[in-house]
Amino acid sequence: MSNNLRTHIFDIIHNTLSTRTRTRWRQHTTSCPLCNNDDETLSHLHTTCLATARAKQLILAAVPDRAAHDILVSADADRFTFRNNPDQPQDRQESERLLLFSHCLWRTRIRFFDKEFLPTFIEASARQISQSYLHHIYLKNQRLQEARRQKEEKKRAFLATLEAVQRDPSCLCIFTDGSSYGNPGPAGSGVYGYAPALPNSRAIYRSLSLGIGTNNQAELNALKLAIQTLLPHVRSLSSDRKQRLSISFFLDSKYVMDGLNRSRVSANVNLFRDVLTLWDQLNTNVRTNVFHVPAHVGIFPNEMADYLAKAGAHGITSATPPPDHHLSRLLRGDEVKWDPPARPLRPPTPPPPSVATSTPRLRRSPRNPNPIRYRFDGIDFSFVND
């Protein structure tokens, strides 16, 4: 939802639409500026205004899916108050269309209210409302289609890179991710790893609860957890296997990748130092590669790491795979929806220190030391001497 629509729904719910433009319509009469047939109220503007009814007809005649926009005609005045929170996705879409229509109606009303009414205002304002509504509808669809196309292109390009990496028979793929609800808030890290050449081998599942932290801290701790998991096994390998082994890390955080490239960081310095120390130890034993993976585009290994990170944010620290009903959703490329975790209760605020109030404090101004001002607990009592 755009900021304009957020502001508009706030103005409708709290009845502040008129006060926002009050300085501009001091001489405005109470009649509707669009049809001049009745007193101007929100109920009249949304339902019974002739210009509004004509705009709804123009919209329904122009849209290809008329049934999706029939709510504009069937909705009563109470639906345009937006005080009921919709539960079903269909109700939410209808409320969004009603809100967009109300916003276009109000913007058109602002253009016409300071003009002397003419009979042509009804058709002109109706066309203005319908054109504005259709522009936003089609623009939103174009943006959604463009975002979907870019998402598919990113997924296709990464899968080609992943396929090239997996051709190496001695390659180990590691996906890491971090999650934070609130940023800062309940945070967790997730690690998922597998060997493409050994499909029957056990995969690596790690989820770590971090308590309260930021998303960048969760991303760094995910990489740290992955290296700490791999280092003992790598050190136990023979020198020949170390030379053949290649570990490819896939991260969706540009912040962590920039830190691995020794870019200057100003936050989480100690955590970066620990990660770089472990990274250097791992590079002395095996070959490593780092790749950027696009987030939330339906790539199964990254969605698995994201699932484990969110499990850690919910306080789960484990090394077991997800349950079957969650795993089936991840295999289909769907995201598992988690409810936001409950924040820990804040400790009680200590009482303020007691202030001595026995004698008033005498202060003199450093600029003008002549006047004497008596201050008692921060309150100026100089008026006593006047």
Instruction: Examine residue 382 and state whether it is found in any structural domain, yes or no.
Output: no
**Residue located via tokens 């623009």:** 139
**Residue located via tokens 């791992």:** 282
Same domain, 190 and 116: no
- Dihedral sign, Cα of residue 219, residue 221, residue 223, residue 226: negative
Same domain, 186 and 322: yes
Full pLDDT tens readout for the chain, 386 residues: 677 888 888 888 777 765 444 444 444 557 788 888 877 788 888 888 999 999 999 999 988 888 888 889 988 888 887 777 665 666 788 888 898 999 899 888 888 877 778 888 899 999 999 999 988 888 777 888 888 899 999 999 999 999 999 998 889 999 999 999 988 899 999 999 999 888 778 899 999 999 999 999 999 999 999 999 999 989 888 888 888 889 999 999 999 998 888 777 778 888 999 999 999 999 988 999 999 999 888 899 999 999 999 999 999 999 988 888 788 877 776 667 776 666 554 555 565 555 444 444 545 555 555 544 444 344 444 444 44
Instruction: Examine residue 94 and state whether it is found in any structural domain, yes or no.
Output: yes
Same domain, 190 and 279: yes
User: What are the φ and ψ backbone dihedral angles of 361, each rounded to 5 degrees?
Assistant: -90, 140
Same domain, 245 and 306: yes
Same domain, 33 and 172: no
Look up residue 103 and give its amino acid.
H
Closest CA to 84 of 136, 5, 9, 16: 9
What b-and-e string marks burial along 314-339, b requiring 16 or more CB atoms within 10 Å of the CB?
Answer: bebeeeebbeeebeebbeeeeebeee
Instruction: Provide the 10 A C-beta neighbour count for residue 21.
Output: 14
Same domain, 91 and 207: no
Instruction: Examine residue 218 and state whether it is found in any structural domain, yes or no.
Output: yes
Q: What is the pLDDT of residue 85?
A: 64
Instruction: Examine residue 101 and state whether it is found in any structural domain, yes or no.
Output: yes
95, 127, 143 — which closes off a domain? Answer: 143
Look up residue 123 and give its amino acid.
E
- Dihedral sign, Cα of residue 114, residue 116, residue 118, residue 120: negative
Pairing of strands 185-194, 171-180: antiparallel
Domain limits for position 320: 168-331
Those residues whose C-beta lies under 8 Å from the C-beta of residue 189, and which sit 6 or more positions away, are 176, 177, 178, 179, 206, 207, 208, 210, 218, 219, 221, 222, 224, 225, 308, 309, 312
Same domain, 185 and 320: yes
**β-bridge partners, 188:** 179, 209
CA distance to 10, 274, 276, 277, per residue, from 281 (Å): 55, 11, 9, 6
Closest CA to 230 of 172, 177, 188, 166: 172
What digits encode the pLDDT tens for the residues 201-210? 889 999 999 9
Look up residue 46 and give its amino acid.
H
Instruction: Examine residue 133 and state whether it is found in any structural domain, yes or no.
Output: yes
CA distance 315 to 211: 7
Burial environment of residue 12 by CB neighbours within 10 A (0 to 12, 13 to 18, 19 or more): buried
Instruction: Examine residue 18 and state whether it is found in any structural domain, yes or no.
Output: yes
Same domain, 174 and 137: no
Quote the DSSP letter at residue 245: -
What digits encode the pLDDT tens for the residues 282-306? 998 899 999 999 988 889 999 999 9
**Residue located via tokens 């306080």:** 315
Our count of domains for the chain comes to 2
Q: What is the pLDDT of residue 33?
A: 82
299, 331, 363 — which closes off a domain? Answer: 331
Which strands make up the sheet holding 379-380, listed edge to edge?
Answer: 361-364, 372-376, 379-380
Q: What is the pLDDT of residue 312?
A: 93
331, 357, 374 — which closes off a domain? Answer: 331
Q: What is the pLDDT of residue 351?
A: 59
Same domain, 190 and 239: yes
Q: What is the pLDDT of residue 358?
A: 47
Instruction: Examine residue 357 and state whether it is found in any structural domain, yes or no.
Output: no
**Residue located via tokens 């303020």:** 352
Instruction: Examine residue 100 and state whether it is found in any structural domain, yes or no.
Output: yes
CA distance 302 to 296: 8
Same domain, 126 and 218: no
Q: What is the pLDDT of residue 367?
A: 56
Enclosing H/E stretch for 3: helix 3-13
Same domain, 184 and 327: yes
Long-range contacts of 4-11 (CB under 8 A, 24+ apart): 4/103, 5/99, 5/100, 5/103, 8/99, 8/102, 8/103, 8/106, 9/82, 9/99
Closest CA to 196 of 153, 250, 157, 239: 250
**pTM of the predicted model as reported, rounded to 2 decimal places:** 0.62
Same domain, 126 and 198: no
Question: CATH number of the domain that 320 lies in?
Answer: 3.30.420.10
